[in-house]
Structure 1
Amino acid sequence: MTATVSRWARRYVGVAVAALFAWQVGLLVGVPRGTEVALGLYGFVLHVVFGKAYSLVPSYFDRELAEPRAAIAQLPLTAVGTACLALAPLRSTPDTLEAAGAVLWAAGVVVFVGTLAWTVRDNLTGAETGTGGPNAHRAGVDRAANAVVPVALAYLLVGSYATLGVAGVVPPVFDGYPPRTTHLLGTGTATLLVFGIGARLLPRFLVAEPPKSLVWVVLPAGAVGPVLLAATLPAGPGFHLAAAVETVAVVGYAAIVGTLFVRSDNRRTALYGVLLGAGGGVAAVALGAWFAFAGLDGALVPAHRRLTLLGFLGLTVVGVSLQFYPPNVGRWPGCDDRTALASMALLAVGVAVQAVGAAVLTTWIESVGVGLALVGTLGYAYLLAGAFATR
């Protein structure tokens, strides 16, 4: 069972890397917003989440995955669904493509959530954590981290239903405004899982203790913020509150990550991606807060989107995946920590330059940023391919 889950987790990560590459190439040639979101969020970020959740969530809830073959059934549904959603906004594609993609995506999500829900059905709050021995003192934080996982899965279900609504398959959530769907999935599912799983993983990886007072702030704020954002976008007093809550959550998370690094004597190379991602998250919510209190600025929206999807979520995913699949495992030339650091640095600088270029409406600057991120993507893909080939 473990071998099956591990093997298919690598395939989910492979699909994710392909989506990341296609996203950056698409930005060079100029693709619509819908294609960018489909590749960056649905294809890249969430497929890594799917692949690792099949192994991490059951173990964190002190259970065994109920049906390992669910990972096999889900992948073609969500992968093909993502491809359809990415192609649908392009010219000369069939009108039915978006609806087909939304249906396939939603079907895959039902398989994923249903399997995990059945696995933890007698421990839905995550009170049983499997935490013991030298980690016994972490049980309280682990229980709190577990408690937000069902919330993140609920956001995934609602966001997938909203995807169907935007495609016209079902009645829309709220008014069908697409950014509501993006925030349900990106902020509600991916970001909340970063907070929850990060609260368990990072202290163990870095062998350091997080400031517990911040954990108790970040997790509730991270659970409430996404629904407030989805309900109140794009303006008004409610949006002010939503932006403030989410800003507290992301800045608090960045403070936790920074504190862990300061306290750690075991700073693993891959986790510098997580540190860079936390910085990207602060930049992303700073722009989001600007939108809330100063008004939506169309020129800055692409910068906010890149900083969120690649600067925050993307770099976090890169760092965590390189931690699980260490660069040094690969026997190919250049599979080492220096290549990993260079790849993460290129991604970080690339997305920063992209954001600046998008904000000042200067195409060549944005293209330079995309080029840097594309080189970083190729380095990341090479390291993972080397590790996969060795295994």
Structure 2
Amino acid sequence: MSASATTRGSRAFVAVGVCWFVAFNAAVLAGTSRSAATVLGLHGFVFAVIFGKAYALVPSYFDRQLRFPRAPLVHLPLAVVGVVGLFGGRLTPGDPLSGLLSTAVVPADQLLAVGAAAWLAGVCVFVASLGWSLRDNLTGAETGTAGANQHRRRVDRAANAVVPLVALYLVWGSLLPVLDAFDVRPAPLVLDLGPLSSDPVAVTLVPTGPAASHVLAAGAATLMLFGVGFRLLPRFLVGTPRTSLVVVALATGAVAPFFLAVDFYGGTLFTAGATLLAAAIAAYAVVVLELVVTSDRRRVGFPAIAVGAVFGLAVVALGWGMGVHGLDPTLAAAHYRLALGGFLGLTIVGVSFQFYPPAIGEAPGVGDRGATVVIAALAAGFAIEAIGVGLGTIDPWSPVDVLDPGFVRTAGAGLVVVGSLGYAWIVLSLFEQRR
């Protein structure tokens, strides 16, 4: 009965996350502001799937059982209210849905506060339930790795070790919207880095805006991807990753988000954070691509995981370039879309097709061929959208200027919406079939 409750809660989280993925891509196509759309993509899609699968997987990776099987069902409504509140509270006057706020019973600032509080409460349920379940093995030294997988024990221990740090980033990033809603802004700390920087560096532990999003996206989500991915992917692909690359990804990925957030678009610390994150995702991408290329297995989700890793390289290239040469709002738009949709999004799509194989589907269009079309549409759509953004930065006298950047971006975003609808149809049809 307890395992059944956990399974239902996990599946419900994934189902809701899939719906948020469609909403995220539709909102971008409709022209929703980046701050509001990010809530749908990050809090809604990425973390809904992370929460759902973490409840089911993480305790077993630590050779433990979830002590509160109904925790996912308690957490889910809080997460939904959190996403709705944060999204509504961050809509700007020019957003397509901003007109609804004028007729809403709850003002935007109160909606933001309710959403932030609900989201934080849900995160507390998540962290507390997993923390209590793993309380006597927080370092992850006991991995449950045995039998034919014994040679993976060293990698498994390293991957487990970052999970508590994921919890810290998650709590930190979830607390920031609450502090922002109540206008709590402590003064920055001024640090003297000695020989590392000629000028003092002002850091803040309460970042806002994109800096706060990076705590969750680069800190909690990406680091959880490493921690879970380095356990899942070698088993899916029947390969053995190079331990040195795993250690590089985990070690640099653990500290990079902190440097990014506390000195966002600052100086020495931000550059160090951007460089370390680039090294982390590059190491992860090499591991993934090596596993996919050398694997004897062929599964429909593997190309999505590989393309997601390639998009990850593009994400850190854009981020590192802006960190060194200065913020470009146009490139920042491509950066966030490729991060949430291309890197994290396609990786999640590929892994979910491994957990929920389309080949067993009975509904029309559900199968490996349909899943391949979905992956191709998403990958091509995100790439075309990024190209459209890039065209917008080209000198208007360039011969390449024959293409309308706005049309290209819209075409790419539209293709992504089609792909996300197909993805939702496949996953939700499989859930209905298994019910």
Q: Does residue 148 of structure 1 match 2:162?
A: yes
| Residue equivalent to 2:36 | 35
Separation (CA, whole Å) in 1 of partners of 2:180 and 2:386? 27
Separation (CA, whole Å) in 1 of partners of 2:206 and 2:118? 22
Separation (CA, whole Å) in 1 of partners of 2:259 and 2:416? 32
| Residue equivalent to 2:428 | 385
Give the CA deviation at 1:360: 3.1
Give the CA deviation at 1:359: 3.4
Separation (CA, whole Å) in 2 of partners of 1:334 and 1:298? 39
The question of whether the paired residues in 2 share the 8 Å contact of 1:350 and 1:368 is answered with: yes
| Residue equivalent to 1:112 | 126
Amino acid at match of 1:304: H
Query: 1:292-331 residue pairs with structure 2 within 5 A?
Result: 292-331=323-362
- Aligned residue pairs, count: 391
Give the CA deviation at 1:169: 6.1
- Report the secondary structure of 1:24's partner residue: helix
The question of whether the paired residues in 1 share the 8 Å contact of 2:13 and 2:76 is answered with: yes
Query: 1:155-170 residue pairs with structure 2 within 5 A?
Result: 155-168=169-182, 170=184
Give the CA deviation at 1:171: 4.4
The question of whether the paired residues in 2 share the 8 Å contact of 1:60 and 1:130 is answered with: yes
The question of whether the paired residues in 2 share the 8 Å contact of 1:330 and 1:389 is answered with: no
1:132 paired residue among 139, 146, 155: 146
The question of whether the paired residues in 2 share the 8 Å contact of 1:66 and 1:115 is answered with: yes
Listed one character per residue, the Cα deviations across residues 189-227 of structure 1 (whole Å, up to 9, x for unaligned) are 110011111110001000111111111111111111111
Q: Does residue 289 of structure 1 match 2:303?
A: no
| Residue equivalent to 2:10 | 9
Query: 1:268-283 residue pairs with structure 2 within 5 A?
Result: 268-283=299-314
| Residue equivalent to 1:191 | 222
The question of whether the paired residues in 1 share the 8 Å contact of 2:176 and 2:206 is answered with: no
Question: Highest CA radius of gyration, 1 or 2?
Answer: 2
Separation (CA, whole Å) in 2 of partners of 1:219 and 1:266? 26
**Structure 1: gaps spanning 5 or more residues:** none
Separation (CA, whole Å) in 2 of partners of 1:266 and 1:178? 42
CA RMSD of aligned residues (A): 1.3
Give the CA deviation at 1:15: 1.0
Question: What TM-score comes out, normalization by structure 2 length?
Answer: 0.88
| Residue equivalent to 1:212 | 243
Separation (CA, whole Å) in 1 of partners of 2:390 and 2:111? 32
Separation (CA, whole Å) in 2 of partners of 1:3 and 1:160? 29
The question of whether the paired residues in 1 share the 8 Å contact of 2:9 and 2:72 is answered with: yes
Separation (CA, whole Å) in 2 of partners of 1:176 and 1:249? 22
Amino acid at match of 1:365: V
Dislocated runs of 4+, deviation >4 Å: 169-173
The question of whether the paired residues in 2 share the 8 Å contact of 1:109 and 1:157 is answered with: yes
More deviation, 121-130/173-182? 173-182
| Residue equivalent to 1:246 | 277
Separation (CA, whole Å) in 2 of partners of 1:125 and 1:51? 22
Question: What TM-score comes out, normalization by structure 1 length?
Answer: 0.97
| Residue equivalent to 1:333 | 364
Amino acid at match of 2:327: L
The question of whether the paired residues in 1 share the 8 Å contact of 2:176 and 2:208 is answered with: no
Separation (CA, whole Å) in 2 of partners of 1:214 and 1:272? 21
